[in-house]
């Protein structure tokens, strides 16, 4: 079992919600294939990778929003646009499914919630 | 998140830890309706399910697709019309369709390498690279040891007959007989040929392996079980060195596991993984 699954198991055991991001499908050339996973904790730290770089940052932002509102999202990460000074141009598109996984009965993340109106990214 | 989803995730984690294999289907996009985005359904090998996509034709279609992914051992995304009809991605665009991600969860497949020689050593490394649980068996201490196989999950020193007789071999085990001689290959093959391994292969020249197979049949092994043995072993890539032969063997193991054709990609009319099978065109059908 890899880090993501171990951490998922720990979250369910210890009773805190996490967000799981899974590469559902890819088209063209992408850094990771379908099935790659990243787990984001309520404090914003994460383990696993869906390929690093801008796409991952974008997914992290969506993950925090999902943690907050519980609403799963399908995030399209478009790697076809070249970025200045960055040679990691892959040229493909990844569909990443972002979902909150919480133990039974846990509906809201611990800690202070964002003020009204700033909850979604 | 529906309460059942936590139970589904728990069972999937148990499967990864060696429990019975399961496939988990998740609705990742779709129209407003009775089946929510994020809804999950778990299918077990015995056909029973956990969770629900409405008990209708959509659910039946998803269960069928989940069964397929359990056989192909890889994550796939499928598209379904609201009535359960399977669609291609292009067909799904512009209509009310569900996109469903289905991922099998199972313990790593096991590569059982019988013989710790040059090919066995290279194969152990390639097998680990490909994510297999690697076990190596040899009767010689200088070959069956941790220094020689630092990355293998198990290194077993013991006589081939007794060790293989007692080693657990199931439908996710791939057995490769690459011992130092056909005598050892023959006694090893005799032990495993009637077990439910997903793959059994044995090295050797065409002439030598047919003699081995004949001995095993004469010894009472069922001919249909003997006919399943992949021998001479590996795909034809012109391999010469032990390392190259290990690549050819691993290619055949993966081909059996994933259900590939073994043909050059440019001759295969099959899009990459992650594309719904409905969009795949079988070889020969243009």
Distance from CA of B159 to the nearest CA of A (A): 31
Per-residue pLDDT tens digits for A25-44:
998 888 888 999 999 999 98
Q: Please name the residues between 17 and 36 in chain A that touch chain B, using a CB distance below 8 Å.
A: 22, 24-26, 33-35
- Give CA–CA dist B225/B193, Å, rounded: 6
> B117 pLDDT exceeds 60?
yes
Total domains, chain A: 1
B-chain residues within 8 Å CB-CB of A1?
13, 16-17
A2 vs B162: which has the higher pLDDT: B162
Instruction: For residue B101, give the nearest of A22, A71, A101 by CB distance.
Output: A22
CA distances, B93 to each of B79, B96, B194, B272 (Å): 10, 8, 49, 19
Per-residue pLDDT tens digits for B13-37:
999 988 899 999 999 999 988 899 9
- Select the residue from B5, B25, B99, B274 to test the A interface by mutation, using most A Cβ atoms within 10 A: B274
> A82 pLDDT exceeds 90?
no
- Domain membership of residue A80 as a residue range: 3-101
Residue A116, domain member (yes or no): no
Share of chain B above pLDDT 70, in %: 93
- pLDDT number for residue B269: 73
Residue A108, domain member (yes or no): no
- Give CA–CA dist B126/B237, Å, rounded: 16
> Which chain A residue's Cα is nearest to B74?
A35
The H-assigned helical ranges of chain B are 3-16, 57-72, 89-92, 118-129, 160-166, 182-192, 206-218, 223-227, 242-258
Distance from CA of A117 to the nearest CA of B (A): 22
Structure token digits, residue B210: 């047919």
- Select the residue from B11, B28, B105 to test the A interface by mutation, using most A Cβ atoms within 10 A: B28
- Give CA–CA dist A84/A96, Å, rounded: 24
Residue A109, domain member (yes or no): no
- pLDDT number for residue A27: 87
> Which structural domains are found in chain B, ordered by start?
3-105 (no CATH), 110-258 (3.40.50.720)
Residue A53, domain member (yes or no): yes
Write the DSSP symbol of residue B230: B
Per-residue pLDDT tens digits for B63-77:
999 999 998 889 999
Average pLDDT, chain B: 91
Q: Do B38 and A72 touch (CB under 8 A)?
A: yes
Residue A29, domain member (yes or no): yes
Q: Do A8 and B101 touch (CB under 8 A)?
A: no
Residue A118, domain member (yes or no): no
Residue A119, domain member (yes or no): no
Q: Do B28 and A24 touch (CB under 8 A)?
A: yes
Interface check for A58 against chain B (CB to CB < 8 A): the answer is no
Per-residue pLDDT tens digits for B169-218:
998 999 999 999 999 999 999 999 999 999 999 999 999 999 999 999 99
ipTM of this complex prediction, to 2 decimal places: 0.79
A-chain residues within 8 Å CB-CB of B26?
97, 99
């Amino acid at each position: 079992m890899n880090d993501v699954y171990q951490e998922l198991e720990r979250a369910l055991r210890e009773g805190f919600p996490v967000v799981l991001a899974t590469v559902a499908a890819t088209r063209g050339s992408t850094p990771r294939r379908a099935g790659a996973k990243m787990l984001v904790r309520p404090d914003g730290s994460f383990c696993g990778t869906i390929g690093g770089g801008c796409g991952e940052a974008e997914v992290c932002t969506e993950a925090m929003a999902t943690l907050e509102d519980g609403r799963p999202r399908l995030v399209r990460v478009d790697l076809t646009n070249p970025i200045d000074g960055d040679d990691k141009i892959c040229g493909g598109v990844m569909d990443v499914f972002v979902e909150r996984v919480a133990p039974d009965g846990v509906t809201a993340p611990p800690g202070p919630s964002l003020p009204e109106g700033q909850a979604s990214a | 998140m529906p309460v059942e989803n936590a139970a589904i995730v728990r069972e999937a984690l148990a499967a990864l830890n060696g429990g019975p294999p399961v496939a988990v289907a998740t609705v990742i996009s779709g129209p407003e309706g009775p089946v929510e985005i994020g809804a999950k359904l778990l299918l077990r090998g015995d056909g029973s399910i956990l969770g629900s996509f409405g008990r209708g034709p959509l659910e039946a279609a998803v269960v069928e697709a989940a069964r397929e992914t359990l056989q192909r051992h890889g994550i796939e995304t499928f598209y379904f019309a609201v009535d359960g009809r399977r669609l291609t991605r292009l067909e799904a665009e512009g209509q009310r369709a569900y996109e469903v991600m289905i991922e099998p969860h199972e313990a790593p497949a096991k590569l059982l390498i019988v013989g710790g020689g040059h090919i066995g050593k290279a194969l152990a490394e390639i097998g680990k690279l490909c994510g297999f649980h690697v076990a190596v068996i040899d009767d010689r201490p200088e070959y069956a040891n941790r220094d020689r196989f630092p990355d293998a999950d198990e290194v077993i020193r013991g006589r081939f007959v007794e060790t293989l007789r007692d080693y657990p071999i199931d439908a996710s085990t791939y057995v490769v007989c690459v011992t130092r001689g056909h005598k050892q290959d023959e006694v090893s093959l005799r032990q495993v040929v009637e077990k439910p391994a997903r793959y059994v292969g044995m090295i050797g020249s065409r002439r030598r392996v047919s003699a081995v197979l004949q001995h095993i049949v004469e010894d009472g092994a069922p001919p249909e079980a003997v006919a399943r043995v992949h021998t001479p072993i590996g795909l034809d890539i012109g391999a010469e060195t032990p390392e190259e032969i290990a690549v050819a063997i691993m290619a055949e193991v993966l081909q059996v596991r994933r259900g590939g054709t073994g043909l050059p990609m440019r001759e295969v009319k099959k899009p990459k993984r992650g594309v719904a099978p409905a969009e795949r065109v079988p070889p020969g059908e243009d």
